[in-house]
Amino acid sequence: MTIFACHNSNIKNGGTTLSDTLKHATLSKTENGNLFSLTNTPEQHCISDVVLDKDTLWWTNLTDSNSSCILHFNSDRWDTLAVEYSPECWLTFPLDTVANKITVYWAKLIDTKYDFEIIKAVNKIGRKYNGKPFMILELINGSTLKATYPYPEVVHKLNKTDKERTLFPDKFIATKPRL
């Protein structure tokens, strides 16, 4: 069983980060004897298993006590990827699956409560990227997605917005949180 707790990050405008949320979930569950864990993650056998997932897996990358953004497939529609920066900040991107790869296309579909630095960065990214591939995901084993970014300058701008986290890493791991 993997157990983790995350530390607080510096947030402006009164918002919380995913790390804050996970820390509070861990602490509240620990006091009741139940630990926040990432266990019993179902194996994904092909890319369509990922996109059509009914288990509501979180795809993230945990390093030390920080997490990347969380990728949510099939949360609303099978042809979109919802990216969770924090519980108050979500980005949505159209996707397509071809040749056992997921291609995620750039779009400015934002649902946020606060003016996070990542939102400012997204709004500064030029229109020339609209509709172009932003991220290509390949299933390299049953629980790991390899991420390739055709326009590394875009990802660099987004990752630069958070000093403590790599928001868009080179791999995402399937996790099934039990709260």
**13 belongs to a structural domain:** no
Q: Given pLDDT bands bounded at 50, 70 and 90, which one contains residue 13?
A: very low
Tell me how far apart the alpha carbons of residues 150 and 73 are, in angstroms, rounded to a whole number.
21
Q: At residue 22, does pLDDT exceed 90? A: no
**43 belongs to a structural domain:** yes
In tens, the pLDDT along 55-114 reads: 667 889 988 778 899 999 876 677 889 999 999 999 999 999 988 899 999 998 999 999
Structural domain count of the chain? 1
Q: What is the number of alpha carbons within 13 Å of residue 121 lying toward its C-beta?
A: 16
Position 75 scores a pLDDT of 66
**12 belongs to a structural domain:** no
Judge contact between 132 and 34, C-beta under 8 A. Answer: no
Q: Taking residues 113-125, what's their average pLDDT?
A: 93
**4 belongs to a structural domain:** no
Its domain, for residue 25, covers 18-178
Mean of all residue pLDDT scores within the chain: 76
Q: Given pLDDT bands bounded at 50, 70 and 90, which one contains residue 41?
A: low
Tell me how far apart the alpha carbons of residues 19 and 146 are, in angstroms, rounded to a whole number.
22
**7 belongs to a structural domain:** no
